[in-house]
Structure 1
Amino acid sequence: MRTTVNHTINLTFRRLVLVIALGSAALLAGCSSTAKKTGNSTYDFGPAPMPVAAQAPSPLGVLVVTDVTGVAALDNERMFYRLAYADPLRARTYSNSRWAGTPLSMVTQRIKSRLSQAGVKVLTPTDAAAGMPILRMEMDDFTHTFDSATQSYGQLTLRASLFHGHKLIDQRVFNQKTNADSLDAAGGARALAAATDAAAANMLVWLDTLQLPKQ
Structure 2
Amino acid sequence: MPATRFLPVAAFAATVALLAGCGSLPDRPSRAMLYDFGPVLTARAPTPADAAPRPTLSLAEIDASTRLEGTQILYRLAYADANELRPYGQSRWSVAPNQLLYQRLRDALAERRTVLSREESATMARTAGRVPRTLRVSLDEFSHYFASPTQSAGLVRLRATLVQSAPGGDSVVAQRSFMVQRPAPSADAPGGVRALTLASDAVIAELVAWVDQQP
TM over 0.5: yes
Distance in 2 between the 1:141 and 1:184 partners? Answer: 18
User: 1:136-155 CA deviation, whole Å, 9 max, x = no partner?
Assistant: 00011100110011011011
Asked if the contact 1:155/1:175 (under 8 Å) is kept, the reply is yes
Moved over 4 A (4+): none
Alignment of 1:89-104 (within 5 A): 89-104=83-98
Pairwise CA distance, 1:51: 2.9
Q: Which amino acid aligns with 1:149?
A: P
Alignment of 1:5-24 (within 5 A): none
Alignment of 1:65-84 (within 5 A): 65-84=59-78
Distance in 1 between the 2:59 and 2:172 partners? Answer: 15
Alignment of 1:73-152 (within 5 A): 73-117=67-111, 119-128=112-121, 129-130=124-125, 131-152=131-152
Query: Which of 201, 209, 213 is the aligned partner of 2:213?
Result: 209
Pairwise CA distance, 1:60: 3.1
Q: After the TM superposition, which of the residue ranges 38-47 and 175-184 deviates more from structure 2? A: 38-47
Asked if the contact 1:48/1:113 (under 8 Å) is kept, the reply is no
Q: Kindly tell me: are residues 159 and 59 of structure 1, through their superposed partners in 2, closer, same or farther at Cα, counting changes over 3 Å? A: farther
SS in 1 for 2:174: strand
Aligned to 1:170: 174
Q: After the TM superposition, which of the residue ranges 155-164 and 48-57 deviates more from structure 2? A: 48-57
Could you say what the CA RMSD is over the residues aligned between the two structures, in angstroms? 2.2
Aligned to 1:179: 183
Q: If the length of structure 1 is used for normalisation, what is the TM-score?
A: 0.78
Distance in 2 between the 1:67 and 1:83 partners? Answer: 30
Aligned to 1:47: 39
Pairwise CA distance, 1:40: 1.5
Pairwise CA distance, 1:85: 0.9
Q: Which amino acid aligns with 2:196?
A: L
Q: Which amino acid aligns with 1:88?
A: A
User: 1:126-145 CA deviation, whole Å, 9 max, x = no partner?
Assistant: 11123211100001110011
Q: If the length of structure 2 is used for normalisation, what is the TM-score?
A: 0.78
Pairwise CA distance, 1:50: 2.8
Aligned to 1:8: none
Asked if the contact 1:76/1:102 (under 8 Å) is kept, the reply is yes
Could you tell me which runs of 5 or more consecutive residues in structure 2 were left unpaired when the two chains were aligned: 1-15, 126-130
Distance in 2 between the 1:74 and 1:95 partners? Answer: 16
Pairwise CA distance, 1:52: 4.3
Distance in 1 between the 2:171 and 2:54 partners? Answer: 16
Distance in 2 between the 1:168 and 1:52 partners? Answer: 29
SS in 2 for 1:85: helix
Asked if the contact 1:59/1:208 (under 8 Å) is kept, the reply is no
Could you tell me which runs of 5 or more consecutive residues in structure 1 were left unpaired when the two chains were aligned: 1-16
Query: Which of 173, 198, 210 is the aligned partner of 2:202?
Result: 198
Q: Which amino acid aligns with 1:171?
A: Q
Q: Which amino acid aligns with 2:38?
A: G
Q: What fraction of aligned residue pairs are identical, expressed as a percent?
A: 36
